[in-house]
């Protein structure tokens, strides 16, 4: 049995628009320190009307795959809670537009923000089975928020997609198989009951997150008791981030499993071992299943003294709910793999939109949610189509024709 499996490379599509939190706070009469400081979010990604979860997924995958990679992908999993159809899986569009082989098992998986981790584990154990004959697995997480204009949680919403290539050559991150713990409990904390609505109780969700964190970690400890000394066993930490501030809360909670620790000491520990994971999430907002991978990218990219083989902990949570605590080792080429993703540069070149422009996009997207015939104009979003899309071979969503989705290359 082949047991060395993990992440070979990663790509992120962070969308082309950015909404600064300072602008949104001013428009909603909120103190920016409540959002930028306590919640640790500076801006959020926004996709124009000609982007949807399919186009983001395809553009993320195409940013990292070579033709040789494509020829070896035999498993494709798309994790999302933003499905564009209640029957047809988005993975079929991804398979087509990414140019993957016909002999490719593919499906879409949904489990709120936990879906990406569920797909990661499924793909990893498939690779570890020893029956894959050199094949690779492609995992894509892709999500966009629904309209939340004026809602208290509007500030943490976001969008984006991540493509993760897994193989038996885990130069970025080797997963430590069998060292994991999980916890589940049915709760309707956050839900998407229709194609237009994303709702729930944020307080219930925060409580459920923390219950899942403790439950999954206790299960992990029952299998890996030596990890009771949390600070010594792991050199780095990554947590699911509906917003950056949750990572700090989670870290402080798990540090206390090993005994009492002051808030000052806990923060110093977090600064050293986990704060870098927030750098890109702070600029994108909630990216759902993608946040665990964007956190990993930020941690590797932003930790100057990261060494190959360092043990990294991961905590993933999805509403509804399921939580998992697992671990991996920094790969031999982790720093170069993170740099190749070029996420900082992609974030820097996004076009900043005003609050009225953002509201126009969200309102129109909601109005089209159940419509079967419409054409998406390419002249909105501050006129960014010529600069960011034209001639760049990015997949774009052009509208609906008798309920059939229309896609075209830019």
Indicate which residues carry an active-site annotation: 81, 113, 240
Letter string b/e over residues 301-315, b meaning 16 or more CB atoms within 10 A of that residue's CB: bbbeebeeebbbbbb
CA distances from 173 to 68, 118, 161, 189 (A): 20, 17, 19, 32
Q: Please check whether residue 50 is in contact with residue 393, taking contact to mean a CB–CB distance below 8 angstroms.
A: no
In angstroms, rounded to a whole number, what is the distance separating the alpha carbons of residues 405 and 397? 8
Reduce the DSSP state of residue 350 to 3 states and report it: coil
127 near 166, Cβ under 8 Å? Answer: yes
CB distance 300 to 314 below 8 Å? no
CA 319 to chain centroid, in Å, comes to 14
Asked if residue 77 lies in contact with residue 49, where contact means CB atoms within 8 angstroms, the answer is no
Q: Residue 20: left if φ>0, alpha if ψ -120 to 50, beta else—which one? A: beta
Contact (CB, 8 A) for 283 and 256: no
Residues 6+ apart with CB under 8 A from 69: 136, 165
DSSP of 314-329, one letter per residue? EEEEETTTEEEEEEEE
């Amino acid at each position: 049995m082949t047991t060395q499996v993990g992440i070979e490379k990663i790509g992120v599509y962070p969308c082309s628009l950015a909404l600064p939190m300072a602008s949104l706070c001013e428009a909603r009469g909120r103190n920016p320190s409540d959002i930028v400081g306590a919640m640790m979010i500076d801006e959020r990604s926004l996709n124009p009307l000609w982007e949807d979860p399919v186009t983001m997924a395809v553009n993320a995958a195409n940013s990292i795959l070579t033709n040789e990679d494509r020829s070896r992908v035999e498993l494709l999993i798309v994790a999302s809670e933003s499905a564009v159809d209640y029957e047809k899986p988005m993975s079929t569009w991804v398979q087509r537009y990414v140019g993957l082989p016909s002999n490719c098992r593919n499906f879409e998986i949904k489990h709120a923000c936990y879906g990406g981790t569920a797909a990661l584990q499924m793909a990893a154990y498939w690779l570890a089975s020893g029956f894959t004959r050199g094949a690779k697995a492609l995992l894509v997480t892709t999500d966009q928020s629904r309209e939340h204009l004026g809602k208290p949680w509007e500030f943490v919403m976001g969008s984006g997609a991540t493509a993760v290539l897994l193989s038996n050559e885990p130069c970025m991150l080797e997963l430590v198989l069998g060292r994991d713990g999980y916890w589940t409990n049915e709760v309707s904390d956050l839900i998407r009951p229709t194609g237009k609505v994303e709702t729930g109780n944020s307080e219930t969700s925060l409580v459920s997150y923390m219950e899942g964190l403790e439950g999954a970690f206790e299960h992990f400890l029952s299998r890996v008791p030596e990890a009771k000394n949390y600070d010594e066993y792991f050199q780095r930490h990554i947590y699911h981030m509906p917003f950056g501030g949750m990572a700090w809360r989670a870290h402080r909670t798990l540090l206390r499993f090993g005994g009492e620790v002051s808030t000052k000491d806990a923060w110093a520990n977090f600064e050293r071992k986990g704060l870098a994971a927030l750098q890109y999430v702070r600029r994108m907002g909630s990216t759902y299943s993608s946040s665990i991978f964007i956190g990993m990218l930020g941690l590797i990219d932003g930790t100057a003294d990261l060494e190959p083989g360092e043990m990294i902990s991961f905590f993933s949570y999805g509403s509804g709910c399921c939580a998992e605590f697992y671990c991996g080792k920094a790969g031999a080429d982790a720093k170069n793999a993170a740099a190749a993703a070029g996420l900082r540069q992609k974030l820097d070149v996004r076009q900043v939109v005003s609050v009225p422009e953002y509201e126009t996009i969200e309102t129109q997207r909601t109005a089209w949610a159940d419509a079967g015939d419409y054409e998406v104009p390419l002249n909105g979003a501050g006129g960014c189509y010529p600069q960011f899309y034209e001639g760049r071979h990015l997949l774009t969503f052009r509208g609906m024709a008798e309920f059939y989705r229309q896609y075209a290359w830019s």
